[in-house]
Structure 1
């Protein structure tokens, strides 16, 4: 089922069900705050897609897409992910993802607007897609984010001879750290928000699995 909003009066597809493949949180929230979004005949009220209790997955704000206008992202690669290497044992992963050489080849693909653990603070948490088609895990603690940033530095920055690729991953690292703490200085909109258990969109991974 496609998800649509009207942007400046025109219908724009933003995703499919819980996966908002075609919008980053930043671009969507800015358009919403500016009053540029209205309800499409085909989908829900635009405000729904900004509510953390629904745990929508937004497109990760890849550095090379930041200048693209609203509605132009993801047309040629809607389910984009960038390679990320992760040493086994640093972050809990499904057993089937682990490799004999001790390095998992994953993909950084989306962000989720959720309440992180253990303090319940609202954040934009990154999703890592594994080798099994359609499944990912969400990193929702600060230690996991720090580990991911450190692993990106180790595997994709320090010994990367390609300056363009190196700069790309450096920007990714900054984005990850920034977005995980983006709401820390903001007051909660509603005092009654609960730290509810994470929704599981597939039955594959009970810890914090997401179907994407």
Structure 2
């Protein structure tokens, strides 16, 4: 287990280089405020926030902002995103049938992007039944994914609270790349197919009292 000393209390934040109990934002805030200390690590705690070390942090879900450092209900929380653009996963598919896949937003990864030496909090996704993963560094690809999220998940959502949550999640994805929300042309009639809607619905189910 990966642990730190937070305000004098040993606190679990994850395992190895995957810190699924704390977002990068909460970690850096606690570090800058002097609330974190080392507990026998082979490298200083300040290294945890260095982008070139490829540490994975919990995605900063907006409805968890009020929670204390390291306090989470679901270690493996994710957000399903319906994709209808095969270029995102470079997929070959039967063009006689509509293309649909669901990817799950899992975490953020601190990176120093090789293409422009820029620090980013890259979005990390999983998909499929074989444990495939997708680490997105390119601005162009993450913009495609956010557009799909807005069109296929946010717009059809009827629950106002969930819709607002999704919109803020989209903004926070782009914040990791210092990008603005693109202008979108979305038809109000756009709806999830029944198959994809069922998949997304199953992924979103949580026990009462837990986050989405």
TM-score (norm 2): 0.76
Gaps of 5+ in 1: 183-212
Shift of 1:129: 1.0
Q: Is the 8 A contact 2:86 2:92 kept in 1?
A: no
Q: Quote the Cα distance in structure 2 between the aligned partners of 1:135 and 1:23.
A: 23
RMSD of equivalent CA atoms: 2.1
Shifted more, 128-137 versus 6-15: the winner is 128-137
Query: Which position in structure 2 is the counterpart of 1:127?
Result: 124
Matched, 1:148 2:118: no
Match of 1:190 in 2: none
CA–CA separation in structure 2 for the residues paired with 1:158 and 1:47: 40
Q: How many residues align?
A: 176
Contiguous gaps of at least 5 residues in structure 2: 180-212
Q: Post-superposition shift, 1:94?
A: 6.8
Distance 1:62 1:93, change over 3 A: farther
Q: Quick check: which has more Rg, 1 or 2? A: 2
In structure 2, the CA distance between the partners of 1:9 and 1:43, relative to structure 1 (3 Å rule), is farther
Equivalence map 1:52-201=2 (5 Å): 52-73=51-72, 76-93=73-90, 101-116=98-113, 118-132=115-129, 134-181=131-178
> Alignment partner of 1:22: what SS?
strand
Q: How far off is 1:130 after superposition?
A: 1.1
CA distance in 2, matches of 1:8, 1:145: 36
The separation in 2 between residues aligned to 1:142 and 1:117, in whole angstroms, is 13
Give how far 1:123 is off. Answer: 0.6
Query: Deviation at 1:16?
Result: 0.6
Q: Calculate the TM-score normalised by the size of structure 1.
A: 0.76
**Mapping of 1:23-62 within 5 angstroms?**
23-41=22-40, 44-62=43-61
